[in-house]
Amino acid sequence: MPKTITVEKTNGTDDRATTRKRGSSRNPKTKAARRALRLAYRTRRGMAPLYATAAQAIAGSALAVPDDGWKTALAATATGAAATAVWGYCNPRIGKKRLRRRLPARRDFLAAASAVTTGGSLVTAMAATGGLQIGDSPYPALSVAWGIGHGIYWWRRGKKTAVPAPSLSKQLQLWQDDVACSDGPLPGSELVDVVTTGYGWTGVIVCRRNWRQAHSASADIAGALDLPEEMLQIEKAMGQSAKRAIIAVFDRNPLQKPVDHPGPHILNTSTGQAVVGLFYDGEPAHYAFWKPSGPVHTVVYGATDGGKSRFLDMLLGTERHNGIVSWVCDPQGGQSLPRWREATDWYEDTAQGGLAMLHAVRNVMYERSARYSMMEWTDPKGRRLRGRDHFVVGDPDPLISVTIDEAHRVLNLQGAPALVLEIIQMARKCGIKIRLVFQGPKANMFGNAPESTDIREQAQSGNTVMFRTASTLTDSIGLPGWDVNPSQLPMYWPDKTSTAGLGYIKGPDNRQAQFRAYFDRDPAHWATTGDTPTIEPSAAAVCGKAYHERLDRLAARLRGETPMLPDDAFADGPTAPARMVASSDPIAQAAAAIEAEAPAGTDERVAAFLAERGRPVGRNTIAQETGLTVSAVKNALTRLKTKGLAVAVDRGIWAHPDHADTPAETTDIAEAA
């Protein structure tokens, strides 16, 4: 049988009944003390002044027991003051790493210094005179006053530095719910760095691929955020990841109120850049007149009432008061820029006058190019060199700025596109800047010639200013590579005022963001003050009668007459031989052009010499007797032949028509052979 075990029950207390949780106590006093300590720890920040006051009273009473306790209190006070000074003024490093980010504010340092010095002085006094001494002693009241005084600052500071509740949670929540959701316009995107502004708020969109996703979806984003399209702006985050775009949401458009033109001092003559307006975020919009390599060409686009004329007023006023020579062609009879008819070095109000001006510009270009190719100058290292390959403003010649408004009127003239292309490709090194103004960037605006597309590309490589246009088809043509839509700019603001001056500018800033040009309310002031800059004498000498008679034509226009341009206004002049040079080197072409240049009155001198000579004579003899160059004589004889004032008797032998049958001298024949 199996063995049976009997267990006897007892009424004793079970051992497990006496087992308690670790750390528990039945003593009510111990539990109350623990709760008090926990409460004191949780409220340590808010009750810090009270705790410091109590610690001060205890320390003063404890240090009063020994006879020299006041010495300990005094030493502790001095040590605390020194530590406070280090805390307030020192920012130590370990290697290149700072131990903290910033020093305390001045008011916090003063409060800490006051608490340490006054509290330490009170403890020292209590230690030296017998402790707190409740009763008639002033120490209890002083301790309470110390705690209340410093406690008020502590509590007020705590309220100011408390972390505020996020005020932008609404924007972030809307973005997550309506834009970044799976069926939103920009799924998977993220909105970060949201900041409130005076006109709304801005933030950074982090796209899944690149920032163009956000720009192309700007209309849908505006709809998702329940905003008008014109109250939202998205642009590339310059200098950041290609996935990031900047979004600006307006409760009012900051560009709605125009900013007055501050004056010609907007040009920084050390950089060649001028502030011509403001972007939507208040940053300045820059326009380059020149850079270290030379002037910067410009093309300006804009529909009617887009702001082109007032923008040109501002630029011309800046040029007049900064020593820049302005040549202006306003083919609309001078109606677009009437203030500058008498305030620029050369002003033409017809398309034919603009073409004559371009011929003169080319002559000046070659004249300067030839001089600069042989010029001696000192480089930054102090070396004397010959031949300068760049233009320096004012050394020795001024910058020439040629503005052609309604440029399509001039470019539609025969020969104008080839002339403009030649100038725009070679003129920068000679200090000549071309500024073309159009209604839009269509190809037919640049003339019906093979050079039209090249002119547009060359002009747009500099400054491109594009105000409101009339066609969505031309937006990408005027600003290639930019994701903007100037044709979508409104004509009026919500208050029914004009948006003239609103547009985009491609220049030194290179921001694909809306800007608004300064508004010149009184262009006549800048046109009637200061002196008119003019070109140098050597350039004036090659401009021909079209330039020298410009004031006479202006006077005739003011009298109501219709002035006529001189016969040589559209002549190739000294540039014709240069264009026939086989070399493609512009310096070699320029040298040939200057060698062929004929000083004023050359034709008359050669014709008079032939008439006085009375018989045929060789070209070299004519050059020796008249003091002209052989090339100048050749060109003069060719022109005289066309006019019937000279006859080619033989190779190199010329005579007046009345003496063509007279035999030439033997020496002239031999020399010509």
Residue 551 and residue 419 in one domain? yes
- Asked whether residue 226 is domain-assigned, the answer is yes
pLDDT at 254 over 80: yes
Question: Which has more confidence, 108 or 425?
Answer: 425
pLDDT at 525 over 90: yes
The stretch 186-212 carries a mean pLDDT of: 87
Per DSSP, the residues of 51-120 read: HHHHHHHHHHHHHTSSTTHHHHHHHHHHHHHHHHHHHHH---EETTEESSS-PPPHHHHHHHHHHHHHHH
CB half-sphere exposure, 595, CA atoms < 13 A: 12
Residue 415 and residue 523 in one domain? yes
Residue 175 and residue 107 in one domain? no
pLDDT the model gives residue 275 = 95
Residue 113 and residue 216 in one domain? no
pLDDT the model gives residue 98 = 62
- What confidence category does residue 166 fall into, taking pLDDT thresholds of 50, 70 and 90? very low
The tens digit of pLDDT for each residue in 470-495 reads 877 777 788 887 878 888 888 888 88
Torsion-angle region of 530 (φ positive above 0: left; ψ -120 to 50: alpha; else: beta): left
- 432-438 and 298-301 as β-strands: parallel, antiparallel, unpaired? parallel
Taking all residues of the chain, what is their mean pLDDT, rounded to a whole number? 81
Residue 153 and residue 175 in one domain? no
Residue 174 and residue 146 in one domain? no
pLDDT the model gives residue 269 = 92
Residue 191 and residue 321 in one domain? no
- Cα–Cα–Cα angle for 13, 18, 21, rounded to 5 degrees: 160
Domain count of the chain?
Answer: 4
pLDDT the model gives residue 575 = 41
Print the domain residue range for 610: 602-672
CA distance 185 to 247: 14
DSSP state of 509: S
Q: Which two structure tokens, joined as six digits, stand for 113?
A: 């210094």
- Cα–Cα–Cα angle for 561, 436, 308, rounded to 5 degrees: 85
pLDDT at 449 over 60: yes
Select from 557, 583, 612 the last residue of a domain: 557
Q: Within a 10 A sphere around the Cβ of 296, how many other Cβ atoms?
A: 21
pLDDT at 97 over 50: yes
pLDDT the model gives residue 579 = 35
- Asked whether residue 6 is domain-assigned, the answer is no
pLDDT the model gives residue 666 = 57
pLDDT the model gives residue 645 = 86
**What residues contact 348, with CB distance under 8 A and at least 6 apart?**
328, 329, 330, 354, 356, 357, 550
- 200-206 and 244-250 as β-strands: parallel, antiparallel, unpaired? antiparallel
Output phi, psi for 584, to 5 deg. Answer: -90, 5
CA distance 77 to 466: 70
Report the candidate in 154, 126, 155 with the shortest Cα–Cα distance to residue 58. Answer: 126
- What confidence category does residue 673 fall into, taking pLDDT thresholds of 50, 70 and 90? very low
- Asked whether residue 315 is domain-assigned, the answer is yes
Residue 105 and residue 141 in one domain? yes
C-alpha 29, offset from chain centre: 75
- What confidence category does residue 261 fall into, taking pLDDT thresholds of 50, 70 and 90? very high
Residue 233 and residue 271 in one domain? no
Question: Which has more confidence, 489 or 45?
Answer: 489
pLDDT at 22 over 60: no
Residue 156 and residue 184 in one domain? no
- Asked whether residue 606 is domain-assigned, the answer is yes
- Asked whether residue 285 is domain-assigned, the answer is yes
- Asked whether residue 582 is domain-assigned, the answer is no
Report the candidate in 568, 660, 573 with the shortest Cα–Cα distance to residue 611. Answer: 660
Pick from 90-104, 160-174, 438-452: least confident: 160-174
pLDDT at 398 over 90: yes
- Asked whether residue 563 is domain-assigned, the answer is no
pLDDT the model gives residue 100 = 65
Q: Which two structure tokens, joined as six digits, stand for 173?
A: 């929540």
Pick from 302-306, 355-359, 533-537, 628-632: least confident: 628-632
pLDDT at 583 over 60: no
Pick from 166-170, 476-480, 538-542: least confident: 166-170
Q: What is this structure's pTM?
A: 0.61
What CATH number corresponds to the domain at position 652? Answer: 1.10.10.10
- What confidence category does residue 93 fall into, taking pLDDT thresholds of 50, 70 and 90? low
The tens digit of pLDDT for each residue in 548-579 reads 998 988 888 888 888 888 877 776 544 443 33
Residue 534 and residue 423 in one domain? yes
Question: Which has more confidence, 600 or 317?
Answer: 317
pLDDT the model gives residue 1 = 44
pLDDT the model gives residue 38 = 80
- Asked whether residue 498 is domain-assigned, the answer is yes
Select from 126, 160, 194 the last residue of a domain: 160
Select from 250, 284, 318 the last residue of a domain: 250
Residue 145 and residue 213 in one domain? no
Question: Which has more confidence, 52 or 323?
Answer: 323
The tens digit of pLDDT for each residue in 103-143 reads 777 788 888 888 888 888 888 888 788 777 777 778 788 88
